[in-house]
Structure 1
Amino acid sequence: MTSPVTAAPAPPRYQPAQVRALFDAMALTYGWGGWLSGGLLKRWRRRLAQALRGPATGPVWVVDLMAGGADLWPALHQRFGPRLRLAAVDFSAPMLARAAAHGAGGQLDLYHADALATPLPAGQATVVTCAFGLKTLLPAQYPALTAEAARLLRPGGEVALVEFVLPDSGWRRRLAQQYMALLMPLLGWLQPAARVHAELPLYASAGPDWPALGRALRQMGFRQVRQRRLWPGYAVLITAVKPG
């Protein structure tokens, strides 16, 4: 949910206008993703929040890049409670309007901006997160993503990124492909406005380049880069720490 910064033209699916239009169109039905995943998206968001150490006391300022409808908010609020202050950044205005429905009061701030070049101040964030937005990025954009995370974080701050993935091969991959092939047409029949969700498996099939993302984090100076696959094998969480 962000715009490319590479010099070479991006493939059509990754052009900023097309990505923005896709998520603008999905805003009203984005909550269907939880149903489609059988509750796994919620579980994976909780795992991301649980992986964060955070400070023992004091405020926890989280910047959520490509935040969409700020669906990470409940898991983060459960983790940090009233100490949380969340800045949700997304370039889809309808998705941010959906985020406003959380009714989080002063704990949730919305920023209509490119996640790779936010207007937020440098060196202030305790945590930078991204949940299920990586699939819309090309590997050539990873350095810009990790650079922005490093700029936003205070020394010792954490970055945590999670994304849906298809296994490289085997029965798990076939099962996921068959599930999506059957469910997406059903979803469109039940709710025509949700037909745009059929685009998401196309991004997921390409998937993030996890080795390239890990390299980009290390090259930006991050330490303790750790990658783990989340149960039942259809999501990957990567975490890292800014030295300080």
Structure 2
Amino acid sequence: MEDIYASDYVKRLFDSMAGSYERMNYITSFGFSIRWRKQFIRALGDSSADIQVIDLLSGLGENWTMLTNQFPNARFTALDFSARMCQISQQKYGNRPGITFRILHQDVLQNNLSANQYDVITCAYGLKTFNKEQLSKLAGEVCRILKPGGRFTFIEVSKPRNKLLLFFYRLYLKHTIPILGKLFLGNPDDYRMLWTYTEKFGDASAVQEIFQRYPLDVRFDSYFFGCATGISGIKRH
């Protein structure tokens, strides 16, 4: 059986879904994905300083408008290992006034970013594709590239702990989303994987525990009764 956390497997999956991923994120979250993005980025606070911001696992650039509004004088970098995602995000935002992101086609776990470079790190809906060993490497990279005193925030679709809510959420993601995926892609298996990853991920409590092994102050965040969870915090001086 193929390792669903292997880099090549995840790259192929997201290259395949790139054309419809933004719409499907909206549908799978009942439209809450945009609201959750705003909430998890807003928690960083505003700044007009000349800072460096990086959006990890940047996908189709869905965070970028909010980040540029919140940090109008920042220098922005985006990183994703899906070539197709990078290509589409460049096409979408490459000529849009006020949005200038340096897009890096790299694996976050094997990157050439400089240490202590960034003031802010964001990442939306990418945690579920890492196993625990990879999450530890991710935490190490976040700690390495973040400046002392720098802030980070992550968010991920999660399994709510309320049993009734979980029942309907599982039914929707496991059975309805693959049908919609077939309508968009002709291949329901790709979107069936979204539930597989979500079910294995659970919520961000394990991520918090892993990140706390590094010199990071980490807070657990919950959105809409646990349908999304994440972590946020700062790198200690």
Q: TM-score, structure 1 length as denominator?
A: 0.87
Structure 1 unaligned runs (5+)?
A: 1-9
With 202-211 and 133-142 compared, the bigger mean Cα shift is at: 202-211
SS in 1 for 2:30: coil
| Runs of 4 or more consecutive aligned structure 1 residues displaced over 6 Å after TM superposition | none
Q: Distance in 2 between matches of 1:243 and 1:188?
A: 43
Q: Distance in 2 between matches of 1:172 and 1:75?
A: 29
Cα distance, 1:87 vs structure 2:
1.2
Q: Distance in 1 between matches of 2:135 and 2:203?
A: 9
Contact 1:123 1:155 in 2 (8 A): yes
Cα distance, 1:131 vs structure 2:
0.7
User: Which position in structure 2 is the counterpart of 1:214?
Assistant: 208
Contact 1:76 1:84 in 2 (8 A): no
Instruction: Please point out which of 19, 22, 27 is paired with 2:13.
Output: 22
Q: Distance in 2 between matches of 1:188 and 1:57?
A: 41
Cα distance, 1:216 vs structure 2:
2.4
With 189-198 and 92-101 compared, the bigger mean Cα shift is at: 189-198
SS in 2 for 1:28: coil
With 187-196 and 94-103 compared, the bigger mean Cα shift is at: 187-196
User: Which position in structure 2 is the counterpart of 1:166?
Assistant: 159
- Residue 85 of structure 2 aligns to which amino acid in structure 1? M
Alpha-carbon distance change, 59 to 39 in structure 1, aligned in 2, over 3 angstroms: farther
What do the CA deviations read for 1:127-159 (whole angstroms, capped 9, x no partner)?
112111000000122221111111111111011
SS in 2 for 1:41: helix
What do the CA deviations read for 1:65-124 (whole angstroms, capped 9, x no partner)?
2111121112212322x2233211111100111211123566211111111132222212
- Residue 40 of structure 1 aligns to which amino acid in structure 2? F
1:52 to 2:44 alignment: yes
Contact 2:159 2:202 in 1 (8 A): no
User: Which position in structure 1 is the counterpart of 2:85?
Assistant: 95
Q: Distance in 2 between matches of 1:156 and 1:144?
A: 20
User: Which position in structure 2 is the counterpart of 1:198?
Assistant: 192
Q: Distance in 1 between matches of 2:187 and 2:68?
A: 28
Identity %: 30
1:31 to 2:25 alignment: no
Structure 2 unaligned runs (5+)?
A: none
With 108-117 and 185-194 compared, the bigger mean Cα shift is at: 185-194
Alpha-carbon distance change, 192 to 11 in structure 1, aligned in 2, over 3 angstroms: closer
What do the CA deviations read for 1:147-178 (whole angstroms, capped 9, x no partner)?
11111111110111100001245101001012
1:237 to 2:230 alignment: yes
Contact 2:156 2:204 in 1 (8 A): no
SS in 2 for 1:12: coil
SS in 2 for 1:23: helix
- Residue 94 of structure 1 aligns to which amino acid in structure 2? R
Aligned length in residues: 232
Cα distance, 1:226 vs structure 2:
0.9
Q: Distance in 2 between matches of 1:160 and 1:139?
A: 18
1:180 to 2:173 alignment: yes
User: Which position in structure 2 is the counterpart of 1:42?
Assistant: 34
Contact 1:65 1:115 in 2 (8 A): yes
RMSD across aligned positions (CA): 2.1
Q: Distance in 2 between matches of 1:229 and 1:75?
A: 20
Contact 1:52 1:158 in 2 (8 A): yes
Alpha-carbon distance change, 185 to 122 in structure 1, aligned in 2, over 3 angstroms: closer
1:85 to 2:78 alignment: no
User: Which position in structure 2 is the counterpart of 1:68?
Assistant: 59
SS in 2 for 1:83: coil
Instruction: Please point out which of 123, 129, 132 is paired with 1:136.
Output: 129
Q: Distance in 1 between matches of 2:229 and 2:186?
A: 29
